[in-house]
A and B are shown apart, each in its own frame.
Chain A
Amino acid sequence: MDLQAVIESLPRYGEPLLVTIGVTVASAALALVLAFALGLMTGSRLLAVRTPARVFVEFFRGSSVVVQLFWFAFAMPVVLGVQFDYLIVAGIIALGCNYGAYSSEVVRGAIAAVPKGQLEAATALNLTPLQKMRFVVLPQAWPEMIPSLCAFAIMLLKASALVSVIGILDITWLAGLLGKQPGQDRLLHYAVVLVIYFVLAWLIWTGMRALERRAKRGLGIDAKPAAGRLAPDVATGGVR
């Protein structure tokens, strides 16, 4: 019986699931750090700071994440002489750089949207630039970023399935492997994997909504719960 064979092999998804979650979390962490660094740099008034960040962002946004994965995994060791001990590191770096570049626009936009009067007031209070950023700008910009960053986190989760094509043993890879075995139904295995991804996306979305509510409450804004749909923040047109 096909269904029974699939159910019996469910425990085997445990370890690959950790790989999927690990790749997503690690590249999301890298992307977040890069997003803030690049977002602050591209919003800078100094040309010497802005230009390298701009080039990095356009480079990663301009080409395809699939190509970047292959390039980091198989071409970079030859071209730049950088060799990773584990292929998974190449995957994490490719995904992290790509989504970091996209998210940097969110960070830059949210920081630029903080009302001018706030900055003038901070200057009037004689705050140093660092204090201004830490106590005035970021607390107001951060809640504005969360919906878009959530959309990118879900897209990153979905893109993490691509690491299976460079030979990393995640759940997509396992579904392909088990599906080829006798007595197994490949369609059912792929369906199981789709449901796992959907649940993970829902978890990210729920977590980010809670985070948004908390961040807004910190500002004294009583956030209305967002409309009950898992949708990327398309109004900003943040994805190119």
Chain B
Amino acid sequence: MQTGWSNETLREIFPAVWDGFLTVLQVTLVAGVVAVVLGLLVAVGERGGPVWMRRPLGLVFQFIRNTPLLVQVLIVWTATSLYINPDWSAFAVGSAVLGVHYASYTSESYRAGIEAVPKGQWEAATALNLPSHRVWSAIVLPQMFRRSAAAVGNWIIAMFKEVPTLFVIGVMEMIAQARAFQGQHYTGAVEGYTLAGLLFLAASYPVAVAMRRLENRLAKSNY
């Protein structure tokens, strides 16, 4: 057990934790794309997909949404590393699970956006005899995006802060880096965890403030 704070250790551990921070950003990017795209597919599929698949799709994502990310990461990692393909990296598997988990949230934000599109818009599209892909791409989705953008953005910020969960399968983010340093040098956990917290704060606070501005602007513009 470490006994005190050391600025010396802080300087030594900084490069490792910074590496971990860059890993967090990479995971956020990959998982963010998965969450934004898959969430949209799920929301549209639940509303406009084949009838037989709507309910099962909703139930699967309801299950994903209401169970812990940590256990999902562990079960998928166990499955891929023991049974499917041991060569798949923790980074890839972890990003995929994180992306799918947050797709279960973003799909709800998209769904709320779709439901907020006035009924008359659907009826007008039917009256004009538009094919369904045009109804979605030209009428529903453009209106939905303005309503959902802020909420989806907020989920991506929340996701960014959940990346450290992936240390359990060996993704070298900040917590994993601090623990590795601690394992080698018998010190550094205190400085590493503090640094990790501060880096998160420095990165997410400006983004959160910008998101709130965007939200206020969208709330004011009358759509």
Contacts and interface: CB of A to CB of B under 8 A. Distances in A.
A180 to B, nearest CB: 10
Interface size class of A (residues with CB under 8 A): 35 or more
A231 interface: yes
A63 B197 contact: yes
A64 B155 contact: no
Given A158-B66, A231-B65, A74 B193 contact: yes
Interface string A173-212: 0011001000000110011011001100110000000000
Contacts of B85: none
A172 B79 CA distance: 16
Contacts of B193: 67, 70-71, 74-75
Interface stretch (B70-78, B86-94, B136-144): B70-78
Nearest to B104: A231
Contacts of A187: 75, 78-79, 82-83
Interface in B157-179: 157-158, 161-165, 167-168, 174-175, 178
A59 interface: yes
Contact of A63 (B2, B201, B215): B201
A64 B208 contact: no
A234 B197 contact: no
Given A190-B71, A240-B208, A66 B162 contact: yes
B129 interface: no
Contacts of B122: none
A68 interface: yes
B112 A172 contact: no
B23 interface: no
Given A63-B200, A67-B164, A187-B78, A229 B62 contact: yes
B78 A198 contact: no
B58 interface: yes
Main SS at interface, chain A:
helix
Nearest to A235: B112
Contact of B105 (A61, A65, A75, A234): A234
Nearest to A176: B74
A239 interface: yes
A78 B4 contact: yes
Contact of B211 (A74, A190, A240): A240
Interface in B188-210: 189-190, 193-194, 196-198, 200-201, 204-205, 208
Interface residues of B, number: 55
B78 A179 contact: yes
A237 B113 CA distance: 12
A119 B115 CA distance: 34
A229 B58 contact: yes
A158 B190 contact: no
Contacts of A121: none
B210 to A, nearest CB: 11
Interface string B127-151: 0000000000000000000000011
B186 interface: no
Given A65-B161, A175-B71, A234 B66 contact: no
A175 B78 CA distance: 12
B205 A239 contact: no
B27 to A, nearest CB: 12
Across the A-B interface, give the 8 residue pairs with the lowest CB-CB distance, nearest first.
A161-B68, A190-B75, A66-B164, A63-B200, A201-B66, A158-B68, A64-B161, A62-B201
20 contacts: A63-B198, A66-B175, A67-B197, A70-B175, A74-B189, A75-B194, A162-B165, A165-B168, A172-B71, A190-B75, A194-B67, A194-B72, A194-B75, A198-B67, A201-B66, A202-B66, A231-B108, A232-B65, A234-B155, A240-B157
Given A70-B178, A186-B82, A234-B105, 13 more contacts: A63-B161, A64-B164, A66-B165, A71-B197, A158-B68, A160-B68, A161-B70, A161-B71, A172-B74, A190-B74, A230-B66, A237-B150, A240-B211
